[in-house]
Amino acid sequence: MTDLRLVIFDVDGTLVDSQADILAAMGAAFAGAGLPAPSRSEILGIVGLSLPQAIAHLAPEADRALLDAMVVGYKSAYTELRAEGGVELSSPLYPGVREVLETLNARPETLLGVATGKSRKGLDKLLDGHGLREFFVTQQCADDHPSKPHPAMLHEAVAVTGVDAARAVMVGDTEFDMEMARAAGLAGIGVSWGYHPVSRLGAAHRVIDDVAALPALLDTLWEAA
């Protein structure tokens, strides 16, 4: 066991607000399949799941071939939207996020990571577009793990960093993030500015309304540990 601490962040709805492109890309995927698009609330309700699981949830009557085609359609539409607007417009950072990452990264005992339902390609594009890659020593994504809320992403993050689960936290906006944290034995910190209402974050240890509150909350949690 080391004295290191690990803060793992979800991406969409936690660090960046990508909902416009998520909604548009999902609409394009359903249109391409000849299906009516789900509502905004239905689409945002599955954010956090890996893409195949998300589309299967939204289109339960579609067969495997159609689901695979819709995944391809979504990825294509999302890539086009990101290319048109650029990462900073397509998936802008929430206010205060960069400053908090800089604050936490400046603490020598604190390591940062991400655990996301994005693909590796999508994550790479986002991190590089915002100049965030340097902050995260572990980057877990959908290409390498089962979909959230399976705890595999968090198990791998603590394993590769050597940080004890009791000194690691998961920060996210969805119930899938909080359930994943609980399954992995980590404290889950929910955020209220993302895509799931606070009422769905029942598995969270704490919920914050302002990212600027995170450093002090982490100090409190670790002092009590």
| pLDDT given at position 225 | 67
pTM: 0.94
Q: Judge whether 164 counts as a catalytic residue.
A: no
Distance CA 221, CA 214 (A): 10
For residue 110, pLDDT over 90 is answered with yes
Question: Looking at 3, 10, 63, 219, which residue is catalytic?
Answer: 10
Residue with tokens 């789900």: 38
Distance CA 198, CA 206 (A): 11
Assess whether 128 carries a catalytic annotation: no
- Which whole number is the average pLDDT over 118-123? 92
Report the distance separating Cα 75 and Cα 8, nearest Å.
25
Q: What mean pLDDT do residues 57-69 have?
A: 96
Residue 192's pLDDT band (boundaries 50, 70, 90)? very high
Mean pLDDT, all residues of the chain: 95
Average pLDDT over residues 85-104: 94
Catalytic site residue from 3, 12, 63, 177: 12
